[in-house]
Structure 1
Amino acid sequence: MDRFFAFVKKEFLHILRDQRTLLILFGLPFVQVLLFGFALTNEIKNATIAVLDNDHGAYSQQITNRLLSSGYFQLRENLRSYHDIEPAFRSGTVKMVVVFPARFTDDYAHGRQGQVQLLADASEQNTAISLTNYATAIIQGYAGEQIGQSGTLPMTVNVASRMVFNPDLKGAFVFVPGVMAMVLLLVSAMMTSVTIAREKETGTMDVLLVSPLNQGQILFGKVLPYLLLSFLNGCLIIALGVWLLGIPLNGSLPLLLAETLLFILLSLSLGLLISSLADSQLVAMFVSLVVLLMPTIFLSGFIFPIESMPRPLQLVSNIIPAKYFINIVKGVMIKGIGLRYLWKETAVLALMTIVLLGFTLKNLKPRLG
């Protein structure tokens, strides 16, 4: 046992002395969280809009001011007629047009309902949906304030929306769970596969195999430092998400940490399997990027909704581990649900871990034994 702990200590010292490895282990999560939390976001801010005010009354002006003061919109131009709308969209400088009909204020003053029309440039579908949702919520909020004053609804908008769990449509709520899955998968799997492949490539693995340590101790000693460091990475990302980006932690922290540890074990199993198949660092790096990075980004629901994908890709997404972990993180942190609702995702990750470890041991024994 003393030999094993000495071997683990040696692996830790090897990692700590390699500045490039430390940069990947601790710099990557920090940069990714900041990048996806602040820069790469699906939030819409300061979107350019145009206003066609055929009323020029007090209430149309109040609604316009409410929209512009929200931080989501900025006024690009005031249109003079309906004929100006299409050229404004064609120019690409306007994302949405707010149209107030004539006599809007007069209708409100006499207890009649008016209507505000929202026209969005649907060439960017997600942006159009977001903008109309933002504007609808702001206008309906203004209308609700007027009910208490007059007992009538001064305007109607033909869009009804309610954002559950993320009422402010914050992009961090979407990206941080995905970043957490991507970073843990890459750090755990890629670094492990490359490290062991390097030992095989340089021939030092043969030296380790003739040491007093058995094969299981060697492999466990190799992955244990990455297990602990990856778990530390997971805690770091959770802390950054909660304290820096304002993501709530509505569920159980112990459950979230346990699920994180399970996902790390799965990622390490993937790394060991890749290392058992790769004979060089280059091959291990290439396989890790192709097999892990690309599917995690595109097929896990991290960026693109799985429901919007073609049916064959939806089926492929079922074998992407990050898909289940992202659902778990969102469920625990944002929805506040527990294992009662997440047991299926947990069972899938556990089963994947067992299967991958089985394949890994089967491949390693004839190659290293």
Structure 2
Amino acid sequence: MKQLITFVKKEFWHVLRDKRTLFVLFGMPVVQVLLFGFALSTEVKNTKIGVLDQDKSQNSIELISKISANQYFDIEHNLKSIDEAEDAFKGGKIKMILVIPAQFSQNMNGGKKVQLQLITDGTDINMANQIYNFMSNIIMNFYGQQTLQPNSGVQPEIRMLFNPQLKGAPNFVPGVMAFILLIICVLMTAIAIVREKESGTMEILLVSPMKPYIIILAKAIPYFILSMIILVSILILSVTVLDLPIKGSILLLFGISIIFIITNLLIGIVISILTDSQQTAMLIALVGTMLPTLMLSGFMFPVENMPIPLQMIGNAIPAKWYYEIVKNIMIKGTGLEVVWKHVLVLLGMMTFLFIIAVKKFKIRLE
């Protein structure tokens, strides 16, 4: 135990004396949370639109006022013709045009078919669809029936469970947590043993009486403690800055996060054992973890839309399972009865990686 504590202290001093490493460890989580929470949000907010009111009735004025009072849209132009609309789109000044026909008020009061035209900028299809859906909801709430099926007589009631305000934070925060913890844990530990090789101190470890698993634990413990501090900081930023409360059990969230952190630390340890230079270890850690996590974990793109081979690769990524767990616990407020299969997968990955790390390290010692 004394040998383990001494070795852990040594690793802590390696980290604390490197200011650049400290900046990466504690600066990256803050930047990533704020960046994904605000700059890269998918929320529709303050979107500039144009309005072509050909009716100019009391009903059309009230509809325009309702849209203008909504936080999602800013009416940038009151257009006079379709030609002005095309010029506004080409200049990138607006994202949507609402065209109110001349018989809007007459048809609405007479119970006839009511048609409004929504023209969107299709160069960004995802944003165009979001803007269209938001505007359709506002219009439906205004005159009480579905715009796309005005003769159906059916008034839909739209409810968005777990995220009624359609904020971007509930989607990004779980992904950012998985992404940051994976990158930091893997990157930091990937260069841990390689650094010993390059500095020439590996020979000391080779002749020491310390067992392989003790060396692995000593390498991983400092980064485990730092990862827990980073996890706490991410959750505090999410609750205070992004206004995203934790609906489920905090203890369960921390317990599963510990499993995820240990799994990532072991990935870094395995990389460091199998490589001979810090540059190679860092390259493998970044390319082998960052890109698959972003592309295949469900964080940026739905896994269900991917081909079967890519879905199978995604299932081998720990971040994919952790991302789904955090969404269930943090956003939906569910418990272990929902995520227990995901937890078993993470536990299996952690056990498998630990066995590989110990065996490979024994081979390198011989």
Q: Matches of residues 331-346 of structure 1 in structure 2 within 5 Å?
A: 331-346=328-343
Give the secondary-structure state (helix, strand or coil) at the position aligned to 1:298.
Answer: helix
Q: Is the 8 A contact 2:212 2:361 kept in 1?
A: no
Match of 1:214 among 211, 214, 219: 211
Q: Is the counterpart of residue 305 in structure 1 residue 302 in structure 2?
A: yes
For residue 82 of structure 1, report the CA deviation from its aligned partner.
Answer: 4.9
Give 5+ residue unaligned stretches, structure 1: 144-152
For residue 163 of structure 1, report the CA deviation from its aligned partner.
Answer: 2.7
Match of 1:290 among 284, 287, 291: 287
Q: Is the 8 A contact 1:117 1:157 kept in 2?
A: no
Where does residue 40 of structure 1 map in the other structure?
40
Where does residue 227 of structure 2 map in the other structure?
230
Where does residue 177 of structure 1 map in the other structure?
174
Give the secondary-structure state (helix, strand or coil) at the position aligned to 1:56.
Answer: coil
CA displacement 1:203-238 (0-9 Å, x = unmatched) = 212212323432221221111011111111112111
Change in Cα spacing, 1:325 to 1:211, as seen in structure 2 (3 Å) is: same
Q: How many residues align?
A: 359
Q: Matches of residues 195-206 of structure 1 in structure 2 within 5 Å?
A: 195-206=192-203
Q: Matches of residues 143-154 of structure 1 in structure 2 within 5 Å?
A: 143=143, 153=144
C-alpha RMSD of the superposition: 2.1
Q: Is the counterpart of residue 157 in structure 1 residue 154 in structure 2?
A: no
Match of 1:262 among 244, 249, 259: 259
Q: Is the counterpart of residue 128 in structure 1 residue 124 in structure 2?
A: no
Find the aligned partners of 2:254 and 2:343 in 1 and give their Cα distance: 13
Q: Matches of residues 347-362 of structure 1 in structure 2 within 5 Å?
A: 347-362=344-359
Give the secondary-structure state (helix, strand or coil) at the position aligned to 2:99.
Answer: strand
Give 5+ residue unaligned stretches, structure 2: 150-155
Match of 1:276 among 258, 262, 273: 273
Deviates more, 1:87-96 or 1:186-195: 87-96
Find the aligned partners of 2:67 and 2:238 in 1 and give their Cα distance: 29
Find the aligned partners of 1:140 and 1:333 in 2 and give their Cα distance: 32
Find the aligned partners of 2:91 and 2:27 in 1 and give their Cα distance: 41
Q: Is the counterpart of residue 190 in structure 1 residue 180 in structure 2?
A: no
Q: Is the counterpart of residue 322 in structure 1 residue 312 in structure 2?
A: no
For residue 140 of structure 1, report the CA deviation from its aligned partner.
Answer: 3.0
Find the aligned partners of 1:282 and 1:53 in 2 and give their Cα distance: 62
Find the aligned partners of 1:122 and 1:165 in 2 and give their Cα distance: 29
For residue 73 of structure 1, report the CA deviation from its aligned partner.
Answer: 1.6
Where does residue 25 of structure 2 map in the other structure?
25
Q: Is the 8 A contact 1:113 1:156 kept in 2?
A: no
Where does residue 248 of structure 2 map in the other structure?
251
Find the aligned partners of 2:329 and 2:216 in 1 and give their Cα distance: 32
